[in-house]
Structure formats: structure tokens, C-alpha cells
Amino acid sequence: MELLEITHDKKDYLDLLLLADEQESMIDRYLERGTMYVLSDGDVRAVCVVTDEGEGVLEIKNLAVSPDCQHHGYGKQMIRLMEERYRGRFRTLRVGTGDSPLTVPFYEKCGFREVYRVKGFFTEHYDHPIFEAGRQLVDMVYFEKAL
């Protein structure tokens, strides 16, 4: 398994990025300034985009595992690889996600804890309602763990 940094043609992975963030204009807000990684064993298993938010905070802006590879440990492996790569350079790993039963338990399993919420983020910034597991996403929930 290889971790590749993608510096050009990041939109080649748009199908995957859209799994985690379904509005392309929102992806455009962080894709260029973000550092993008792909986990691959010949086939692409997962993608991740991280940004430097200042004051020692590294934020995961996008994390997606290929649909036929989900629940096989690739998401957790990507988080672990980010931790190994950035430990010592950043103090905190942060991620924002919808209040969804598909993502919150995953981040909790990876050792993240909820720190704050931005009320109405999804209803305010996205041009259409977003539903996950039958529930409309409204607030952005931020999780952090120490690096």
C-alpha cells in the first residue's frame, strides 16, 4: 500500500471527493490550497485533503474511501498515516463533519472527540439540502485529536 501526494490534476479524483463533500463549489474552496493524498495498491482505495489552519491545527477537509472498499479499514489507515506524517509539525488534527451516523462513529473510533459545532453550516452554505442515512445535515460538527 502506497501513500501518494497528488500535486496536479486533483480533479481526476473528483468522484471520490464528492462522496465526502457533495457540492463541487465547496470542494473548490479548499482543494488548491490543500495537500492531497491517495492511498493506493495499484487501485485507488482512499483520498484525503488536509489544510494548514494556523496555530498548529491541521484540518482534514475531505476523506473518502472507494465505495466498494468501505468498512475494510482504509479510512482508519488514512487517518493513521496523516498522524504519522504530521506529528511534530502540528499540535492538533481537526475534522468537520455533518451530524451523521455514517461518519461520527468512524471519527470517534479513530480517537477524535467533539469540540464545537457551527450551527446551520450545511443549510447556509450548500445550495441544496443534504441527507445522510435519512437525516438532513444542518450543523457542522468539529472533532479534534492531539497529534
In angstroms, give the least distance from the CB of 94 to ligand COA.
Answer: 12
Report if residue 109 touches ligand COA, rule: CB under 6 A.
yes
User: Are 90 and 132 in contact, with CB atoms under 8 Å apart?
Assistant: no
* Residue among 73 and 129 whose Cβ is closer to ligand COA: 73
Candidate list 63, 82, 137, 147; residue touching ligand COA; CB under 6 A: 63
Residue of 57, 58, 34 lying closest to 47 (CA atoms): 34
Report if residue 71 touches ligand COA, rule: CB under 6 A.
yes
How deeply is 43 buried, as exposed, middle or buried, from its count of CB atoms within 10 A (0-12, 13-18, 19+)? exposed
Which grid coordinates are listed for 40? 493506493
* Residue among 8 and 36 whose Cβ is closer to ligand COA: 36
Report if residue 36 touches ligand COA, rule: CB under 6 A.
no
Report if residue 56 touches ligand COA, rule: CB under 6 A.
no
Q: Give the angle subtended at the CA of 102 by the CAs of 69 and 34, to the nearest 5°.
A: 70
Chain centroid to CA 144: 12
Report if residue 112 touches ligand COA, rule: CB under 6 A.
no
Report if residue 97 touches ligand COA, rule: CB under 6 A.
yes
Which grid coordinates are listed for 74? 482504509
Candidate list 23, 35, 40, 70; residue touching ligand COA; CB under 6 A: 70
Which grid coordinates are listed for 132? 445522510
Residues binding ligand COA (CB under 6 A): 19-20, 63-65, 70-76, 97, 101-103, 105-106, 109
